A = this chain, B = another copy of it.
Amino acid sequence: MVKKANFSQIKEKVAREGVTRRVFSGEKSMMVLNTIKAFAKPALHQHPHEQITYILAGECDFTLGEDLVRLGPGDVILVPPDVPHTLTPLGQETIINLDVFTPIRDDYL
C-alpha cells in the first residue's frame, strides 16, 4: 500500500491565527507544510524533535536560541532539539515553509 498525497489536498489545520499546517508523516520523520501570514505572531517554543526548516516563499527573521537570522526563499536552517525558536514575518508576503521533524511529532498526528 503506497502512502502518498498532494499537499494541496491535505486538510489544513489552523495552528494559530494566521498560521496553518499540513502534515505528511512517515514513521521516522514528518514533513509539515506551513503558511504564515504577515500579521501572524508565532510564539517562541521548543521541542525535543530535531527540526529542519526550508523557506519556500516569503521572508522572516528567525530566532534560534540567542541568534537572529534573516531567511528568505531557498534558505534552510537546522533547529537542534530543545533550542527555543520562532520567526517574525517581514514584508507582506505569506511565508510558506516546510518543516521536517525527527522523530515525528505525535501532537501533529
Contacts and interface: CB of A to CB of B under 8 A. Distances in A.
Interface of A: 2-8, 24, 26-29, 31, 50, 52, 54, 64, 67, 69, 71, 74-78, 80, 98, 100, 102-103
- The complex is assembled from copies of this chain, and their number is 2
A74 B29 contact: no
B71 A4 contact: yes
A85 B80 CA distance: 30
A98 B6 contact: no
Contacts of A2: 64, 67, 69, 77-78
27 contacts: A2-B64, A2-B67, A4-B78, A5-B75, A5-B76, A6-B74, A7-B74, A7-B76, A8-B74, A24-B76, A24-B78, A26-B102, A27-B50, A27-B80, A28-B50, A28-B102, A29-B29, A29-B50, A29-B100, A29-B102, A31-B52, A31-B54, A31-B76, A31-B100, A98-B98, A100-B100, A102-B102
